[in-house]
Structure 1
Amino acid sequence: MSGDPFDDLLELEDGYYKEGYEAGVADSSYAGMIEGKVFGIEKGYEKALELGKLHGRALVWQARYVDSIAVGPNVKKAANNEVTSSQTLKDHSKLADTVRLLAPLSKNARLRKHVEALHLASNSATIAKDNSDEAVTEFDDRIAKAQAKAKVIANIVGESLNPTTSVNAGIEDATGLQARH
């Protein structure tokens, strides 16, 4: 005898299940790839932003030495290396004016050594920018080293690394109240 005519009907649910599963795998693979790329771009931006902030701090600290003439040598180099437009020169003159308003740093060889190490660790020109495991690990290590150097320098100078006021601070942060969670 041939098979029961209702066998195909009874296996209909299994067929739909397999079809739905395969469609879900294909859609989630594509969505996961897109989500991974977006996450990678966000994380890369956060890391580059942190490195840029640390490098900027190093330039400002270098410019604040007592024996610096008007503007630190690295700020002058940065001004010379960039495209020399009137806007760029105005921006650097504003930076020089702002740095002159800050208190100068003392002639401390240890402090100078730490600032130079921070400058070298945060220099983006010497960091590999490819997406290999080694380059990512080196980038993370350099950020950690630069953060540690910045903390040491801030302690020596007596400045805070993280300002207490924040644009996005809540009312609890602004008034000193502790939030109850």
Structure 2
Amino acid sequence: MEDLLDDLLDLEEQFYNEGFELGTKDGAETGYTEGSVFAVEKGFEKFVEMGRLYGRALVWAQRLDSKSNNAPAQPATGEISLDPSICKDMPSLPPHSTRLVRNLHTLLELVDPATLDMSNTEEAVNDVDERLKGAATKAKLIQRAMGEREDSGAQAEPKDMTPSGDGSGSIEDISALNIRH
């Protein structure tokens, strides 16, 4: 009789250990998958911002060149030429200083896609983060020097789409729910 009771008492411990082992195995597989998806999303966000800053820097550089040189530069053989005619239709730039040109040159160096290391190493990720931070700072300096409005880079959420709630994250808070129409 005592042996039967010992088996019943050990049953809970046995189920706990079995559940723990299965949960650990499933968690490791799911964690790897979720971590990979998260890494791709964050990498994409960083490189989209780098591309946006690169595009702005190219337009600023073209506007500076088109205002200072009346004759467009001839591309080298085999080089892709972008039509800069749209830049000539943009508002004229204020007189630029050597500091503005130097900041623009630095910005172009920071966001140049040919020099970005896209390997998945700690060093490469840190380099991209540092370059993105420096490029955002240079872009703000250039914007101010050119008299352009501040640009947050992200699309602002429309006023009527802002979620209601107190933002506390409690179960009663509905601020994280999306409204379906």
Superposition deviation, residue 111 in structure 1: 1.1
Identify, as 1 or 2, the structure richer in helix: 1
**CA RMSD in angstroms, aligned pairs only:** 3.1
Equivalences for residues 115-130 of structure 1 within 5 A:
115-130=104-119
Aligned length: 161
What are the equivalent positions in structure 2 for 1:69-108 lying under 5 Å apart?
69=70, 80-81=79-80, 92-93=82-83, 96-105=84-93, 106-108=95-97
The SS at the match of 2:58 is helix
User: Displacement, 1:133?
Assistant: 1.2
Q: What are the within-5 Å matches in structure 2 for residues 144-159 of structure 1?
A: 144-159=133-148
TM-score, normalised to structure 2, is 0.76
What stretches of structure 2 of length at least 5 have no aligned partner?
167-181
Deviation at 1:97, TM superposition (A): 3.6
Superposed CA offset, 1:33-82 (max 9, x none): 11100100000000001101111111000010111447678xx68x934x
SS at match of 1:160: coil
Partner Cα separation in structure 2 for residue 6 and residue 180 of structure 1: 53
Shifted more, 104-113 versus 131-140: the winner is 104-113
Q: Unaligned stretches of 5+ in structure 1?
A: 82-88, 174-178
Does 2:121 match 1:132? yes
Over the matched positions of the two proteins, sequence identity in percent amounts to 33
CA contact (8 A) 1:64 1:103 kept: no
Taking the aligned partners of 2:89 and 2:103, their CA distance within structure 1 comes to 23
Shift of 1:3: 6.1
